[in-house]
Chains A and B, each alone.
Chain A
Amino acid sequence: MRTTCPYCGVGCQVEPELKEGRVVRVLAPDIPPNHGALCVKGRFGLDFPFSGKRLLHPLVRESLNAPFRRATWEEALDFAAERLLDVLRRKGPEAIAVFPSAKTTNEEVYLAQKLARALLGTNNVDHCSRLCHSSSTAALSRSLGGASMTNPIEDIWKTDLFLVVGSNTTETHPVIAAMIKKRVRQGARMIVVDPRYTGMAEAATLWLRVRPGTDLFLLNAMARYILEADLWDRAYVEARTEGFEAWRASLEEYTLERAEAVTGVEREKIALAARLYATTERAGAYWAMGVTQHTKGTATAQALVNLALLTGKVGKEGAGLNPLRGQNNVQGAGDMGALPDVYPGYLKVAEEGARARFEALWGVPLNPRPGLRMTEVFEAIPEVEAIYLIGEDPVTSEPYQDHLKAKLAALPFLIVQDILENETTPFAHVVFPAASFLEKDGTFTNTDRRVQRVRKLLEPPGEARPDWWITQALGQRLAQALGRPWPTYPGPGAIWEEVRRAIPELMGGIAYARLEAAGVRWPCPREDHPGEAVLFRERFNTPTGRARFHPVDYTPPAEPPSEDYPFTLSTGRVLFHWHGGTLSRNSRLQEAYPELKVEVNPKDAERLGLQDGEPIYVVSRRGRIRARAWVTERTPEGVVYAPFHFAEAPANRLTLDALDPISRIPEYKVSAVRLEKVD
């Protein structure tokens, strides 16, 4: 039976073959988006639901000092509801936060944010996008009025130039990378901007090895050069944009000379990249965490948006602005309103009309004040007294781990709802065991806005239940106590029907029955509508219908290297693992990549007398971890790269919690460290 891969945002369609309750083989059907192709995670990493670390029974305890005791569902749900209601009565709705999960289905995310808003009255709702593409969505929303890829994955076959910035696509979105690389073999060009020699850099026509955190300077310099060389799309700028003159004036300082000094990339190469991008009609920009995970993440994403607008690349086939989304349903989590300032469909909490729509639908008055973002919620502990955390391991994924652990230890009430034990489970007061993607129905929305079915192939183990069931059961208790309406949904299909009614302009035409053949992209207002492939062909989703330039300025990273901490640490992922490792390290993938390897440039290794494979300590102002040195040219001199998947050697013990002022994303890509030999 066909379902959707639970790893990255490509949304590959998979057909897991089960035998004696095990996944023995995974084949992929020849339909979009992957047309039969998979990566190692989808092909061989779908066995985590059978891990011995599955949570099988509800667990409760009064305090973190007490041991967990096994409870019935009734008991655990009653206990959780009472504690939430107690916080609500004593401290009010702002003292509670709900974090739906971008790993769960649209239906589950919708229900969890509805529970927060309609029952608890709080907009403290957020999800892990805060840590990954919140910078992109901030820039795209304010400029274009939409927060997603503007173009579909199939447009890769129509693209003549790829501008790939800060995306290790061959490891993080391997199936999309394979398509892009094939298109390059067919004759398209590819410019890759990345400090690391990634698989994309290897396949590039032109690789710009920027110093970490200087992409913004490079992008602004490209824009300035394009203006100077008169290669910009004047007609497009005049007809479709606003704010151009003020932005243009802001570029004065971004000369090629200065760009060379700041980024370390020769000026001729910057000029060539600018020229190629501006003069290729079908040029698409693709980017990921290398752009977003900086204190200037929003500004850098904005620089990319400005560049695309200047050259008329948005609203056209084979071009566009394409943030590659990380989680399987991170696009959907945003679409379903798992954000502190918007309801489902990105309708603003602070706008009366939007509020009225959901007040009517849910039959309750709603809180007009936007809530806290995820990174702010943790900071607000203990003013925030209760968190309902679904499918996430912040101890591994948030920056500055020791600080976060101290915050969680001070949190009076934490509900952890997950399929597997992880590093955050020890901080929970209630543990709800959830069903994995193989054990429930629903939909995920992939990176190019395609809503696709998730199908139940197996019964959940033990007493584990689907997330929607758990949220619904908790909601019933809260609703009863608060005297608020809370319909009982017989299944995910009924929840989806409510989503269609809530935001018909986006999802109205997407019925489950239509998803049998293949997924359908939003916006899709009617059942006879094919779903929109390229966004903004005629107008942008802004009040004026025009896209807006925003001036952005280069600022240095929050923690530059120093004498004591001479290296720049950049964190990220590797092909074989997934984020906090909860899934991939409980699968066959673990065998292929069992421990942390930190990339060190050969010149640095020589200076420090490090051999390839030697154990080392990586030390920042916030902590130290032990790793194995991987001496490789992949990383430039002065930079070390550490994936963050390894709980026993967590890269996020080292990272700092400096945040982007707009998106509040942490600066995962730049912190200062030193390397020490292990004696």
Chain B
Amino acid sequence: MRLRVDGKDVEVQEGTLLLQVARVPTLCHHPHTETRGLCRICLVEVNGRLQPACATLAQEGMEVKTETEALRRLRKTLLEWLALTTDLSQAPELLALLERYGAEPARWPEVEGRKEREAVEDNPFFLRDYAKCVNCRRCVDACGDGVMGVYALTLEGRGLLAHPTTPLGRPLPETPCVFCGNCVQVCPTGALRPLALEVA
């Protein structure tokens, strides 16, 4: 099938996600987890409407725009809000995006954010530092359906209070966790990181 992306004709097979043809930034998307359309960073304009590229299938005749003024403003705002609420100091890719979109978090009033959360150190292998967590769900998916099928992580709460945790908030060694660290592998912000990094 054929569609147009930023004015260029593109030929794709059925079942192709827009993300595969549109060069847009992503955050919650990961090839081995099953999160779709959560973070809105990859939004594109499809026939005038905003759609998440990671969760939208290409269709015949689509007119896709990946970098309009509206999209740029939207991404900038989303990134500013993340920076406002979250410690992004160990998220180099997000910091680069902030720069690319000229984000100015300081133009917003302060909000009660996640930055104050204390890191959880409950196992010999990795830290859960949720002050740095943007709730992308990749860890939850890698632990569950995406990779391991272990389900030791889950998302709790809503809105700004939402955060990943364990079942009933138990320490990881008391959950089904097998410490494979596949959650650490997919974490885009350094919220989950090896303890070995800390001592070095």
- Name A residues whose Cβ lies closer than 8 Å to a Cβ of B: 19-20, 22-28, 30, 35-40, 43-44, 47, 170, 174, 178, 181-182, 185, 203, 575-576, 588, 591-592
Asked whether A40 lies within 8 Å of B178 as measured between CB atoms, the reply is yes
Query: Inside 8 A of B181's CB, which chain A residues have their CB?
Result: 26, 38, 40, 43-44
Chain B residues 142 to 200 lying within 8 A of chain A, measured CB to CB, are: 145, 147-149, 173, 178-182, 184-186, 193-194, 196-197, 200
Closest to A171 in B: B178
Closest to B145 in A: A185
Asked whether B178 lies within 8 Å of A25 as measured between CB atoms, the reply is no
In the bound complex, CA of A182 to CA of B178 (Å): 16
Report which of B147, B173, B179, B200 forms a contact with A22, defined as CB distance below 8 A. B200
Q: How far is the CB of A545 from chain B (nearest CB, A)?
A: 40
- Cβ of B32 under 8 Å from chain A: yes
Asked whether B196 lies within 8 Å of A28 as measured between CB atoms, the reply is no
List 23 interface pairs A-B (beta carbons < 8 Å), by A numbering: A24-B196, A24-B197, A25-B196, A26-B181, A30-B31, A30-B32, A35-B32, A36-B31, A36-B186, A37-B32, A38-B180, A38-B182, A39-B178, A43-B179, A43-B181, A174-B178, A178-B149, A181-B148, A576-B179, A588-B124, A588-B196, A591-B124, A592-B179
Query: Inside 8 A of B200's CB, which chain A residues have their CB?
Result: 19-20, 22, 24
Q: How far is the CB of B196 from chain A (nearest CB, A)?
A: 5
In the bound complex, CA of A181 to CA of B146 (Å): 11
Asked whether B196 lies within 8 Å of A592 as measured between CB atoms, the reply is no
Report which of B126, B173, B180, B186 forms a contact with A174, defined as CB distance below 8 A. B180
- Cβ of B123 under 8 Å from chain A: yes
Asked whether B125 lies within 8 Å of A36 as measured between CB atoms, the reply is no
Q: How far is the CB of B96 from chain A (nearest CB, A)?
A: 19
Closest to A19 in B: B200
Asked whether B124 lies within 8 Å of A592 as measured between CB atoms, the reply is yes
Q: A36-B185, A38-B185, A39-B180 are in contact. Are A44 and B32 (CB under 8 A)?
A: no
Query: Inside 8 A of B123's CB, which chain A residues have their CB?
Result: 592
What is the interface size of chain B, counting residues whose CB is below 8 A from a CB of the partner?
24
Asked whether B194 lies within 8 Å of A44 as measured between CB atoms, the reply is yes
Asked whether A182 lies within 8 Å of B31 as measured between CB atoms, the reply is no
Report which of A25, A40, A47, A170 forms a contact with B193, defined as CB distance below 8 A. A25
Other CB < 8 Å A-B pairs besides A28-B185, A36-B31, A43-B179, 19 of them? A22-B200, A24-B197, A24-B200, A25-B196, A37-B147, A38-B180, A38-B181, A38-B182, A40-B179, A40-B181, A43-B125, A43-B180, A43-B185, A174-B180, A181-B149, A182-B145, A575-B178, A576-B179, A592-B173
In the bound complex, CA of A36 to CA of B148 (Å): 12
Q: How far is the CB of A27 from chain B (nearest CB, A)?
A: 6
Main secondary structure of the interface of B (DSSP, over half): loop
In the bound complex, CA of A25 to CA of B195 (Å): 9
Query: Inside 8 A of A25's CB, which chain B residues have their CB?
Result: 193-194, 196-197
Query: Inside 8 A of B149's CB, which chain A residues have their CB?
Result: 178, 181-182, 185, 203
Query: Inside 8 A of A203's CB, which chain B residues have their CB?
Result: 149
Closest to B126 in A: A44
In the bound complex, CA of A636 to CA of B173 (Å): 24
Report which of B124, B126, B148, B184 forms a contact with A178, defined as CB distance below 8 A. B148
Query: Inside 8 A of B32's CB, which chain A residues have their CB?
Result: 30, 35-37
Which residue of A22, A36, A174 has the most chain B CB atoms within 10 A of its CB atom? Answer: A36
Asked whether A37 lies within 8 Å of B182 as measured between CB atoms, the reply is yes
Closest to B180 in A: A39
Query: Inside 8 A of A24's CB, which chain B residues have their CB?
Result: 194, 196-197, 200
Query: Inside 8 A of B178's CB, which chain A residues have their CB?
Result: 39-40, 170, 174, 575
Closest to A21 in B: B200
Q: A19-B200, A25-B194 are in contact. Are A43 and B184 (CB under 8 A)?
A: yes
Q: How far is the CB of A311 from chain B (nearest CB, A)?
A: 28
Q: How far is the CB of A164 from chain B (nearest CB, A)?
A: 15
In the bound complex, CA of A588 to CA of B198 (Å): 14
Query: Inside 8 A of A23's CB, which chain B residues have their CB?
Result: 196
Q: A25-B196, A28-B185, A38-B185 are in contact. Are A44 and B145 (CB under 8 A)?
A: no
In the bound complex, CA of A352 to CA of B31 (Å): 53
Q: A25-B193, A37-B32 are in contact. Are A44 and B182 (CB under 8 A)?
A: no
Closest to A181 in B: B149
In the bound complex, CA of A576 to CA of B31 (Å): 28
Query: Inside 8 A of A36's CB, which chain B residues have their CB?
Result: 31-32, 182, 185-186
Closest to A20 in B: B200
Q: How far is the CB of A630 from chain B (nearest CB, A)?
A: 14
In the bound complex, CA of A194 to CA of B58 (Å): 47
Asked whether B179 lies within 8 Å of A44 as measured between CB atoms, the reply is yes
In the bound complex, CA of A324 to CA of B88 (Å): 42
* Interface pairs A-B: 9 shortest CB-CB: A43-B181, A591-B124, A40-B179, A181-B149, A44-B125, A24-B196, A24-B200, A19-B200, A24-B197
Report which of A27, A170, A576 forms a contact with B185, defined as CB distance below 8 A. A27
In the bound complex, CA of A38 to CA of B179 (Å): 10
Asked whether B197 lies within 8 Å of A588 as measured between CB atoms, the reply is no
In the bound complex, CA of A645 to CA of B107 (Å): 59
Query: Inside 8 A of B31's CB, which chain A residues have their CB?
Result: 30, 36
Query: Inside 8 A of A182's CB, which chain B residues have their CB?
Result: 145, 147, 149
In the bound complex, CA of A156 to CA of B3 (Å): 35
In the bound complex, CA of A185 to CA of B145 (Å): 8
Q: How far is the CB of A71 from chain B (nearest CB, A)?
A: 35
In the bound complex, CA of A575 to CA of B173 (Å): 13
Query: Inside 8 A of A22's CB, which chain B residues have their CB?
Result: 196, 200
In the bound complex, CA of A24 to CA of B184 (Å): 13
Closest to A589 in B: B124
Asked whether B196 lies within 8 Å of A40 as measured between CB atoms, the reply is no
Q: How far is the CB of B167 from chain A (nearest CB, A)?
A: 16
Query: Inside 8 A of B196's CB, which chain A residues have their CB?
Result: 22-25, 44, 47, 588
Q: A22-B200, A44-B194 are in contact. Are A37 and B124 (CB under 8 A)?
A: no
In the bound complex, CA of A37 to CA of B182 (Å): 6
Query: Inside 8 A of A38's CB, which chain B residues have their CB?
Result: 180-182, 185
In the bound complex, CA of A78 to CA of B187 (Å): 53
Q: How far is the CB of A244 from chain B (nearest CB, A)?
A: 39
Chain B residues 101 to 148 lying within 8 A of chain A, measured CB to CB, are: 123-126, 145, 147-148
Closest to A45 in B: B125
In the bound complex, CA of A25 to CA of B198 (Å): 10
Q: How far is the CB of B173 from chain A (nearest CB, A)?
A: 8
Q: How far is the CB of B31 from chain A (nearest CB, A)?
A: 7
In the bound complex, CA of A20 to CA of B196 (Å): 12
Query: Inside 8 A of B173's CB, which chain A residues have their CB?
Result: 592
